[in-house]
Amino acid sequence: MDGKKLSDQEMAAIVREAVDRLPGGFVIFGPDHEILLSNAQNERDFPFTNEALRQGKTYLEATLFAVKKVAPNLPDDEALAVARGIHDTLAKGEPVELRTHLGTVMQVVEIPLSFGGWVAVGADVTALRERERELKKSRKQAEAANEAKSAFIANISHEIRTPLNGILGMAQLMASGDLTPEQKDQIETILDSGKTLMAILNDVLDLSKIEAGRFDISPIDNDLGQLLRRMEKLWAPRASEKGLALTLDIDGDMPSLLRFDPIRVRQCISNLVSNAIKFTERGSVRVAVRCVPAGEDTFDVHIEVADTGIGMSGETLDKLFAPFMQAESSTSRRFGGTGLGLSISRHLARLMGGDVVATSEPGKGSVFTLSFRAVAGRRASEAPKNADVDRTGGARWAQGLSILLVDDHALNRKVARLFLEPLGISIVEAENGADAIRLLQTRAFDLMLLDMHMPVMNGMETLAHIRAHEAAFRDIPVIALTADSLGPDNMRYREFGADGYVGKPIDHRELILEIGRVLEARHGRSPMPDLRRA
């Protein structure tokens, strides 16, 4: 046909062949939706609609006819609703997906033409939708597996923390007794090993909480400078043991009070400083803090931890923040740790509107910078008074105090009893919430220590019942005890009606201080005038 002009008949035949070879349906409608041109694929996909239109039915009637042919069991009113939906969607020029009598899914759209008619085109999206269904199914399976993993870790956490509570609790009691230097050293080794095990367990649990989306940030008004100075005192002995100089440099322009999450900030800084000391054999570790205005009453806080340690290559830096990764394969054997701390710290920093970044050179040390967003504190928060507890936990205020201890594990109850009875506190035990409520109905208690995970009636149910139903003891102070790191945090327990919170394994001093803080908050005065050794 080179140079030959095609006749109208030849051109029409070519157009017809081209239209029929289209992979999707193609149809041209007149102003009343009469079919002017329909390709072979359209005839295969929508024979019922086409048949009805050629019989003179309206477009809505033809659509309803096709719906009832494809879905014969559909009630008449539902079939009409489906047909109207298809009709109205196409009229608006929006695509609609239709399941054909062949079982395929066609996406159809109609476009108005200048003479008053329409052109409709269809595309087979069956494979795409099937792929989407498979992906959705896989996602649900992955979510179910992740939920199962989270539940497993939560259960393992509870089961591990219970015997660990006994080990550390008894070791703390032994450490407060009269021991020989050799025995003191042995007990300190037990305590250090137990705390290391707790740190590893907490790392794994924190990562699981982040993956499960259960990690909450709880900002409060707090003095960041004071928090850092306390941490400096905590880490100074460890740095001194290695002959390292530990310095803290705080920006003088930093507001005295900022609103941030002190627990999460402390966790991030503790991880960075701990790593700096761990990987530095000689020289120094420097912590520098600066506060940059980022808007009205808003600040970007940057905490830089610099060391003169072993340093890292660029390749190592690239994988440093991946979970379970160490700087090199020998690092975990040489220095210990799970390889989770930096990954968790970065997650936390990003939840707080910041990040953790690092620069380093092999043999020249490393610089890690934690940043987070904070706002100016509106009012000074009253921190709990630091009670001075001696090694034996002697506390005059505790004499005559009556506490209801509720825990389903006898070992946990034994540890708490051994912590508190030497202070002159009277302890009554209950194994579950139902037993606790029965005891509360028979006598008065000054305070309740309530485990959150128990059979028959758990801690949350018990707390809800006490606060909502029992007028006689509705206002009893309650301290939540829990070994479940995947459950609600301290702030959530308070929302449910708890006055305080102590995690397991229970720390002797922490338990004493929390009891004193809760009683002081409830009675408006300190029950602890002097906790010093008499």
Report helix, strand or coil for 248. Answer: strand
Q: What CATH number does the domain located at 396-523 have?
A: 3.40.50.2300
Rounded Cα distance between 459 and 221, Å, is 29
Rounded Cα distance between 359 and 342, Å, is 14
The contacts of residue 1 (CB under 8 Å, 6+ apart) are: none
Rounded Cα distance between 140 and 137, Å, is 5
Give the number of other CB atoms < 10 A from CB of residue 1. Answer: 7
Q: What H or E segment, with its residue span, contains residue 373?
A: strand 366-376
Q: What CATH number does the domain located at 220-376 have?
A: 3.30.565.10
Rounded Cα distance between 528 and 534, Å, is 13
On the CB side of 234, how many CA atoms lie within 13 Å of its CA? Answer: 12
The contacts of residue 260 (CB under 8 Å, 6+ apart) are: 219, 220, 222, 224, 301, 352, 372, 374
Q: Which two tokens stand for residue 147?
A: 């939920």
Every domain range in the chain assigned CATH 3.30.565.10 = 220-376
Give the number of other CB atoms < 10 A from CB of residue 328. Answer: 13
CA 421 to chain centre: 38
Q: Which CATH number fits domain 143-211: 1.10.10.10, 3.40.630.30, 1.10.287.130, 1.10.260.40?
A: 1.10.287.130
Every domain range in the chain assigned CATH 3.30.450 = 8-124
Every domain range in the chain assigned CATH 1.10.287.130 = 143-211
- Tokens 């479940």 correspond to 484
- Tokens 């393992």 correspond to 156
Rounded Cα distance between 251 and 274, Å, is 22
Give the number of other CB atoms < 10 A from CB of residue 271. Answer: 23
Local structure of residue 93 (DSSP, 8 states): T
Q: What residues form DSSP beta bridges with 97?
A: 107
Every domain range in the chain assigned CATH 3.40.50.2300 = 396-523
Tens digit of each residue's pLDDT, the chain (534 residues): 555 788 888 888 888 888 888 888 999 999 999 999 999 999 999 999 999 999 999 999 999 999 999 999 999 999 999 999 999 999 999 999 999 999 999 999 999 999 999 999 999 999 999 999 999 999 888 878 877 776 777 677 667 777 887 888 888 888 878 888 888 888 887 887 777 677 777 777 676 666 666 666 778 888 899 889 888 887 888 899 899 999 999 988 888 889 998 878 888 898 899 889 988 999 999 999 999 998 888 999 999 999 999 888 888 887 787 765 554 444 444 444 445 778 888 888 998 999 999 999 888 899 999 999 999 887 534 434 444 444 334 455 677 899 999 998 888 899 889 889 988 899 999 999 999 999 999 999 999 999 988 888 988 899 989 988 878 888 999 999 876 544 445 566 777 789 988 888 888 888 888 898 888 887 654 444 333 232
Closest CA to 468 of 437, 514, 501: 437
Q: 8-124 domain in CATH 3.30.450?
A: yes
Q: What H or E segment, with its residue span, contains residue 293?
A: strand 284-295
The contacts of residue 84 (CB under 8 Å, 6+ apart) are: 60
Rounded Cα distance between 320 and 307, Å, is 16
The region that residue 188 occupies, defined by phi over 0 for left and psi between -120 and 50 for alpha, beta otherwise, is alpha
